[in-house]
A and B are shown apart, each in its own frame.
Chain A
Amino acid sequence: MAIHDQLLAAVDGRRGAEAADRLCDACVVLFDIDAAAISLVFDGSNSGTLGSSSAPARTYDELQFTLGEGPCLESVALRTPVLVADLADPDEDRWPIYGPALLSYQIRGVFAMPVLVAGEYIGALDLFRAQPGNLDGEHFAGAVVAAELAGVPMLDLLDADLQSAVNDPGSNAWTELHSLSRAEVSQATGMLVAQLGVEPTEALVRLRAHAYATGRSSTDVARDILDRRLKLEAD
């Protein structure tokens, strides 16, 4: 089974934190690493670890929020993958506190892929490895796919009322990402930002929740919003 399919199989039929955990498990199996976690840097008050492959993975990941530096924070701030082949390299000084802390847990390689929701860099998939060295090309490409998929459980967790999504057995991460990436969904998201006075991520969450609640596709809901046939109520 191709890496794509294995990652999809890990998240399909699952939602929120469970999907995030399973995606992290799949990363450990597929990418020759020892721990994986997905974390969110939404704004100052809403950040932290959403999913992880193990208790140690959660520890490595949460540590960066305690210390205020680390792969997820850096990946979101720079809007790029962060790849550290060996934390023990004397020239590697980007995290003066977090780096030595991870070394004390016998972690040498750290790799973070940004996660995007509604065009915004809001989190990262963090990969940790005991052995030093770069990710090989195929594993890197797979990790980018995993980070793309991580956008779906992240949306789930941003949705305060998940019931509708949980009850939809036909929901599938791949078709969902495909639908949410369409131009009209982004345009409708922008309209909702203006109408509801919320930020784009929340606007997208609202659009998606309405689609789930009414059993329609996000694209159809987006078109109705754009054509002013549908107006979502402000909270």
Chain B
Amino acid sequence: MTEVPRETRVLDAVVSLVDSLLADFDVVDLLTELTERCAALLEIESAGLLLVDPLEQLRLLAATSEETRELELFQLQADEGPCVDCYSTGQPVSVADIEAEADRWPRFVPAALDAGFASVHAVPMRAAGIVMGALNLFGTHPGALSDADLLVGQTLAHVASVAILQEHAPTPWTVMPQLRSALSGRVLVEQAKGFLREILDVSVEDAFTLLRSYARANGEHLTDVARRLMTDRHSRPVLVAALTEFALAQPS
């Protein structure tokens, strides 16, 4: 089997993501896919998108992994780490060897090493002169991001920015309300994960996979399913029954 050249795989990812943008799409779902594409294309293990909220705190919008330990690592970046630096300067940050930065980030570095990561990088997302957040990349081997990798990361970060702001041309008046809206979608998805954990007695990771597969199988938006589950008490029992049935039909 011949290896598909990376250039082709990058183009394939961009075309596929832009195709989704031109159709009706769900922002949390699309950006989760974008982080998965990142991990597949770059020399990294794990990727996450962090958006800034009105209080200038970075919050996680999407990630390749729903594992608690990794979510924790992304969330820690609200306080310190490469994403905070990337956000405050608007410039990419590449840390070839996390271990060497223990003094700079006393909480982030041990947590990242503990999770098995050796390198970390962040590229900014921006629009209308505002830095909106950062794409955060973790590698299991030490090493800087190559220029080519950086370009791929930056391209995907731009696609993510467009996805979040797609409804309107960005202005200082529209950017922050749309960030709030995207983040509220994530809150509902997290609630739905917890809800399904309780109802179906599964892990939150499995609950996310189930929710996402169910939404796709039914041609619905991930956040719409989550919103219906969490905020519409009248349709909840029917949706719970449908999700339960869907879960039982999944190969385990």
CB–CB B184/A119 < 8 A: yes
Q: Which of B9-17, B94-102, B109-117, B193-201 contacts A (4 or more CB under 8 A)?
A: B193-201
> Which chain B positions have C-beta within 8 A of A193?
191, 194-195, 230
Determine whether A232 belongs to the interface, using a CB cutoff of 8 Å to chain B: no
Q: Which of B52-60, B133-141, B154-162 contacts A (4 or more CB under 8 A)?
A: B52-60
Query: In the assembled complex, how far is the CB of residue B185 from the closest CB belonging to chain A, in whole angstroms?
Result: 8
- Interface residues in A25-73 (C-beta closer than 8 Å to B): none
Determine whether A101 belongs to the interface, using a CB cutoff of 8 Å to chain B: no
CB–CB A184/B195 < 8 A: no
A14 to B71, CA, bound (A): 32
CB–CB A226/B204 < 8 A: yes
Report the contact-size class of chain A (Cβ under 8 Å from the partner). 35 or more
A168 to B91, CA, bound (A): 40
A147 to B55, CA, bound (A): 10
Count contacts on B: residues with CB < 8 A to the other chain. Answer: 37
Among the interface residues A79, A113, A147, A193, which one has the most CB atoms of the partner chain B within 10 A? A193
Query: In the assembled complex, how far is the CB of residue B73 from the closest CB belonging to chain A, in whole angstroms?
Result: 12
Query: Which applies to chain A's interface (DSSP): helix, strand, loop or mixed?
Result: helix
**Given A121-B184, A226-B204, A200:B230 Cβ within 8 A:** yes
A121 to B227, CA, bound (A): 11
> Which chain A positions have C-beta within 8 A of B197?
187, 190-191, 226
Determine whether A105 belongs to the interface, using a CB cutoff of 8 Å to chain B: no
Tell which of B55, B68, B193 touches A145, judged by Cβ atoms closer than 8 Å: B55
Among the interface residues A119, A140, A147, A195, which one has the most CB atoms of the partner chain B within 10 A? A119
**Given A119-B191, A174-B55, A199-B231, A191:B198 Cβ within 8 A:** yes
Determine whether A189 belongs to the interface, using a CB cutoff of 8 Å to chain B: yes
**Given A80-B177, A148-B54, A191:B195 Cβ within 8 A:** yes
CB–CB B184/A189 < 8 A: no
CB–CB B191/A190 < 8 A: yes
**Given A119-B191, A183-B190, A190:B198 Cβ within 8 A:** yes
Determine whether A177 belongs to the interface, using a CB cutoff of 8 Å to chain B: yes
CB–CB B55/A187 < 8 A: no
Q: Mark A141-154, 1 if CB is under 8 A from B, else 0.
A: 10011011100000
CB–CB A140/B173 < 8 A: yes
Query: In the assembled complex, how far is the CB of residue A230 from the closest CB belonging to chain B, in whole angstroms?
Result: 13
**Given A144-B177, A200-B231, A181:B57 Cβ within 8 A:** yes
A89 to B183, CA, bound (A): 34
CB–CB A119/B188 < 8 A: yes
Query: In the assembled complex, how far is the CB of residue B250 from the closest CB belonging to chain A, in whole angstroms?
Result: 20
Determine whether B104 belongs to the interface, using a CB cutoff of 8 Å to chain A: no
Query: In the assembled complex, how far is the CB of residue A31 from the closest CB belonging to chain B, in whole angstroms?
Result: 14
Q: Can you spell out 22 A-B residue pairs with CB atoms less than 8 angstroms apart?
A: A80-B181, A83-B173, A114-B177, A116-B184, A118-B187, A118-B191, A119-B187, A119-B191, A144-B54, A144-B176, A149-B55, A181-B57, A186-B186, A186-B194, A188-B194, A190-B197, A191-B198, A192-B194, A194-B195, A200-B231, A226-B194, A226-B197
